[in-house]
Chains A and B, each alone.
Chain A
Amino acid sequence: SQQGEEDPQALSIQEGENATMNCSYKTSINNLQWYRQNSGRGLVHLILIRSNEREKHSGRLRVTLDTSKKSSSLLITASRAADTASYFCATDRGQNFVFGPGTRLSVLP
């Protein structure tokens, strides 16, 4: 079974708008990561947040983590057409990473 569940499954926004994706998980984690996948390609690591951190920034990305609610959110600000991709959260269970089903983001020009 999958550890993480992203929400929403699909999201369509206009260029310049912000996109927010959420991830919920079930058990305790060491850290949580976000990955991006362009259609039919491998996943690219975006950002990692540790279990003792609450917020992290990287360029236009902002990630939050609420361990009490077992949830994380990924915010992409000022979105661009090139941000169109699927986004996955992954939780570190110690020996392997468990990925959620992903959010498909479409940024319309």
Chain B
Amino acid sequence: KAGVTQTPRYLIKTRGQQVTLSCSPISGHRSVSWYQQTPGQGLQFLFEYFSETQRNKGNFPGRFSGRQFSNSRSEMNVSTLELGDSALYLCASRGMGTAPPNYGYTFGSGTRLTVV
């Protein structure tokens, strides 16, 4: 069973640009969540998508957006990049069971975004 795949692994962008990150969840998982990880703030929840609908949203500005496609793949977009957006962006898919292994997050390896 393939894991969660995030692309690209590394990305360097300039301030003011926009970026799109991609996440393919585990087959059969319909929930995809995104987290931002920085040394100063730790793991911060961005949003969760379930069956193409945003179900939950963290406390991030509107520059951060996402979507989910009918095959459960998800994309995250950050517009007008700022230096502070430099972070590891992690995607996690979640099964709908009540016990492992179909419960709990399975994380991808992340996309390391550097804004210069």
Pick the residue among B103, B106, B107 that contacts A48 (CB under 8 A): B103
Say how far A31's CB is from chain B's closest CB, in angstroms.
9
Pick the residue among B4, B48, B92 that contacts A95 (CB under 8 A): B48
A88-B112 contact in complex given A45-B100, A97-B105, C-beta closer than 8 Å: no
B88 contacts A40, C-beta separation under 8 Å: yes
How many residues on chain B are close to A (CB under 8 Å)? Answer: 25
Say how far B62's CB is from chain A's closest CB, in angstroms.
19
Say how far A24's CB is from chain B's closest CB, in angstroms.
15
Say how far A88's CB is from chain B's closest CB, in angstroms.
7
B43 contacts A42, C-beta separation under 8 Å: no
Contacts of B45 in A (CB 8 A): 96-98
Instruction: List the count of A-B residue pairs having beta carbons below 8 Å apart.
Output: 52
| Alpha-carbon gap, A109 to B113, bound state (A) | 33
What secondary structure prevails in chain A residues at the interface with B?
strand
User: Is B68 part of the contact surface with A, judged by Cβ < 8 Å?
Assistant: no
| Alpha-carbon gap, A99 to B35, bound state (A) | 10
B4 contacts A42, C-beta separation under 8 Å: yes
In chain A, positions 5-49 with a C-beta closer than 8 Å to chain B are 33, 35, 40-45, 48
B106 nearest CB neighbor, chain A only: A45
A33 contacts B104, C-beta separation under 8 Å: yes
B42 contacts A40, C-beta separation under 8 Å: no
Pick the residue among B42, B108, B112 that contacts A100 (CB under 8 A): B42
- Write the residues of chain A forming the contact surface with B, with a CB cutoff of 8 angstroms: 2, 33, 35, 40-45, 48, 88, 90, 95-102
